[in-house]
Structure 1
């Protein structure tokens, strides 16, 4: 194992290189040191569904968005995806994806919706039984 603890050969003059994994970019570099999404008030849990907003303003490469933002936009352009799927598709940690999605939400590029939890689905069979029970009174 070398001095930086990676186990791989160290490239001279580069502290951001792991011999086995290749070049490294620390998550805080992608998010500007932020660990939480902006003040959007939207929960970005793993199953939240993210879609590209069709009415979103068009941005060019000078919009201040990083390559990771653009990667998420391109993934959403193809289809609606969960936060977890976006993390896997962009090969980014979910914490980083949440912060970047917060940026995209504030800019109006994406929309986020949460699927209805199974416990909150209305079962038609139960509703029919309740109606029949009320009629029987």
Structure 2
């Protein structure tokens, strides 16, 4: 018996980019004030909403749901536009345009924990 596999791009309607670009370290959480709408809530949206009841980074969402990073970014950007998730603003960058060392250490610790 073979299992049916869904190609990743079908989950995003064939899109590989979205209007909003989310960095891998961007923290997202479910917007509990918004009721799920049957017309806008896909299986992927429900899985992400369930996972993100506790805040997660974009990279963690992709890893925990076994989604390619690009697919997770598009889905999360779509959900942000629908107000299904809250995108938490990242930490300030240093004078040279790089993320803070504290942020980089937290991302590394999170990746090791996966």
Answer whether TM exceeds 0.5 for this pair: yes
User: Which protein has greater RCO, CA pairs closer than 8 Å, 6+ apart?
Assistant: 2
Corresponding residue for residue 109 of structure 2? none
RMSD: 2.1
Corresponding residue for residue 87 of structure 2? 112
Length-normalised TM-score, structure 1 = 0.61
Aligned length, in residue pairs: 96
Corresponding residue for residue 112 of structure 2? none
Length-normalised TM-score, structure 2 = 0.72
Cα distance in structure 2, aligned partners of 1:102 and 1:31: 11
Instruction: Answer yes or no: is 1:58 the counterpart of 2:35.
Output: yes
Structure 1: 5+ residue stretches without partners? 1-10, 12-16, 122-137
Higher radius of gyration, 1 or 2: 1
Contact 1:46 1:84 in 2 (8 A): yes
1:14-55 superposed Cα distances (whole Å, 9 cap, x missing partner): xxx5xxxx5321011101011112x3x4x3111000011233
Q: How does 1:18-97 map to 2 (within 5 A)?
A: 22-37=3-18, 39=19, 41=20, 43-55=21-33, 57-60=34-37, 62-77=38-53, 79-97=54-72
